């Protein structure tokens, strides 16, 4: 993190031909309000020192005994490099009784970032969300919220009465919603012409169903905006979305492939399984849950509508940051046990008539093949940082999202893909042979190859299907194209999964608009 931020500051100074201090002030002015306190961490940057050297001198980076010296940039002259990195650790400063000295200041600022009064409350909220994976603001405890971020309605359908635990998206209507909207789909009341409740008239027998994603960071749609690191285009506008991104854990589920519902503001366009289900049946409005990176399913077997559950952990079982990465990958036996445990749990929670789609693992060799020799956003100004260098830096730090695929070792990349294929075969066999009381199970390969082919037909390049900053996750374009491929497969092979097309959709929308959107 330090290396990335210092790199941006130094490049800002270069681009604007200013001092580093002026560049840091410029960056701090770009950052919204209370988040500017983070700038105080970086107070002694020298333009003559590269970001690696600066971060070691600030004691925000360190070299463990017996471990390689991790660096993103080419090292300066050996004597200078080693001298710059020979700094005393924060722990050593404490032992020497130097807590109150200038040398210890970076340690305090870094370790106690959440102690800043302006950030303390926000930090507590984020810690709660990360720990519980539940909406921070949920007054009635039904796991749905009226607040967008902090695992709120960006992740699950928006609650329409957060003080009534019996009102939430996805439930069957209470007495056809004559008096109020119990399922938050916007359809309630009685038609004055014939006295029939609107919910009964438009949604009875309509095969209403929700969509639930059980996924990983790809399903949550992890994204770091490249404009945060591209100094040639940087302005205050570049960081306008920082508060929202921060409180959504740098995930953007509201634009994602399965549960996206807002127009994308991060490039590309939004197309999702949820939006297509909603267009097919307007009664499905707001019935979505993105349960990514752990979380809690909100479905009542007796009171709620059936759901389409997408099980898509497309890389977690083979991806880790360990140097002996193969030893830490899920085995086929473990995969079978884990998935069956999840499916038995779903069978105890999902209403009858639900469907589960198991998605195979991705072939991550696509990443190295299409990115390794391209320049990362940090390297575009001076043409000095490629994705290959970034991957090596992350591997050295043991924080790589996937050592098995983000590596120059072709044999290791192939072995990782071989394991991914074995695990996909486990999912395929489960879908073929296992039966459950409340849902049927289907399997589909992760549609990377079809997505790349479709994008080429549209004149695009394969590398544009990958997130530019982390060089690992699917991009917004990949998410939107993947939706189209998944939908077409379901439409032609499993039409029963999608439900019937509601013939009253136009009438519902007309009344909705006549009432001013209520």
- Told to judge if 217 belongs to the known catalytic residues of this protein, a careful annotator would answer yes
Alpha helices, DSSP H only, in 87-165? Answer: 90-95, 105-111, 117-132
Between strands 288-292 and 210-215, the pairing is parallel
CA-nearest of 16, 473, 485 to 219 is: 473
Q: Rounded to whole angstroms, what are the CA distances from 31 to 35, 169, 183, 234, 345? A: 6, 36, 39, 11, 44
3-class state of residue 500 by DSSP: coil
Which among 57, 145, 208, 217 is annotated as catalytic? 217
Reading across the β-sheet that carries 307-312, which strands appear in turn? 288-292, 210-215, 307-312, 354-359, 439-444
Q: What is the distance of C-alpha 467 from the center of its chain?
A: 11
* CB-CB contact of 320 with 402 (8 Å): yes
* 197 bridge partner residues: 190
**HEC assignment per residue over 217-249:** CCCCCECCCHHHCCHHHCCHHHHCCHHHHHHCC
Query: For tokens 């681009």, what's the residue?
Result: 15
Q: Measure the CA–CA gap between 242 and 354, rounded to whole angstroms.
A: 37
Instruction: Report whether 59 contacts 102 (CB < 8 A).
Output: no
Residues in the chain: 518
Residue 113 burial (CB count, 10 A) = 15
Cβ atoms of residues 288 and 156 within 8 Å: yes
Spatial separation of the C-alpha atoms in residues 186 and 508, rounded to whole Å:
9
Residues near 458 by Cβ (< 8 Å), separated by ≥ 6? none
Only one residue has tokens 């060089």, namely 471
Annotated catalytic residues are 217
């Amino acid at each position: 993190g330090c290396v990335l931020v210092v790199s941006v500051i130094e490049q800002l100074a270069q681009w604007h031909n200013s001092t580093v201090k002026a560049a840091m002030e410029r960056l701090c002015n770009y950052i919204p309000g209370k988040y500017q306190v983070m700038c105080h961490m970086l107070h002694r940057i020298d333009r003559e020192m590269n970001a690696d050297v600066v971060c070691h001198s600030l004691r925000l980076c360190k070299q463990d005994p017996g471990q390689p010296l991790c660096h993103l940039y080419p090292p300066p002259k050996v004597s200078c490099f080693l001298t710059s990195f020979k700094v005393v650790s924060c722990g050593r400063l404490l032992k020497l009784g130097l807590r109150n000295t200038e040398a210890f200041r970076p340690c305090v600022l870094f370790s106690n970032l959440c102690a800043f009064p302006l950030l303390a409350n926000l930090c507590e909220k984020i810690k709660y969300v990360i720990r519980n994976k539940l909406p921070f603001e949920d007054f009635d405890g039904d796991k749905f919220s009226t607040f967008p971020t902090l695992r709120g309605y960006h992740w699950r359908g928006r609650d329409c009465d957060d003080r009534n635990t019996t009102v939430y998206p996805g439930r069957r209507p209470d007495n056809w919603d004559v008096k109020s909207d119990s399922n938050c789909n916007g359809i309630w009341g009685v038609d004055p012409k014939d006295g029939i409740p609107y919910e009964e008239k438009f949604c009875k027998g309509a095969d209403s169903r929700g969509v639930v994603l059980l996924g990983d960071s790809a399903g949550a749609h992890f994204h770091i905006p490249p404009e945060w690191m591209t100094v040639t285009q940087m302005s205050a506008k570049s960081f306008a979305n920082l508060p929202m991104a921060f409180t959504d854990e740098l995930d953007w589920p509201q634009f994602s492939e399965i549960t996206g519902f807002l127009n994308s503001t991060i490039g590309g366009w939004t197309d999702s399984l949820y939006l297509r289900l909603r267009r097919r049946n307007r009664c499905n409005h707001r019935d979505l849950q993105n349960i990514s990176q752990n979380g809690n399913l909100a479905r009542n077997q007796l009171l709620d509508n059936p759901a389409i559950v997408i099980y898509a952990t497309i890389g977690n079982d083979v991806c880790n940051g360990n140097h002996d990465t193969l030893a830490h990958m899920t085995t086929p036996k473990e995969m079978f046990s884990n998935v069956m445990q999840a499916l038995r749990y779903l069978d105890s929670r999902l209403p009858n008539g639900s469907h589960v789609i198991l998605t195979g693992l991705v072939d991550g060799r696509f990443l190295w093949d299409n990115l390794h020799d391209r320049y990362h956003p940090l390297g575009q100004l001076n043409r000095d940082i490629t994705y290959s260098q970034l991957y090596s830096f992350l591997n050295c730090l043991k924080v790589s999202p996937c050592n098995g695929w983000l590596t120059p070792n072709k044999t290791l990349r192939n072995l990782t893909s071989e394991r991914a294929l074995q695990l996909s075969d486990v999912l395929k066999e489960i879908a073929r042979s296992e039966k459950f009381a409340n849902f049927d199970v289907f399997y589909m390969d992760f549609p990377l190859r079809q997505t790349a082919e479709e994008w080429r037909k549209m004149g695009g390049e394969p590398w544009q299907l990958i997130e530019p900053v982390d060089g690992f996750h699917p991009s917004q374009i990949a998410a939107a194209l993947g939706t189209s491929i998944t939908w077409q497969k379901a439409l032609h092979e499993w039409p029963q999964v999608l439900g019937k097309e509601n013939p009253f959709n136009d009438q519902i929308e007309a009344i909705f608009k006549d009432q001013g959107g209520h």
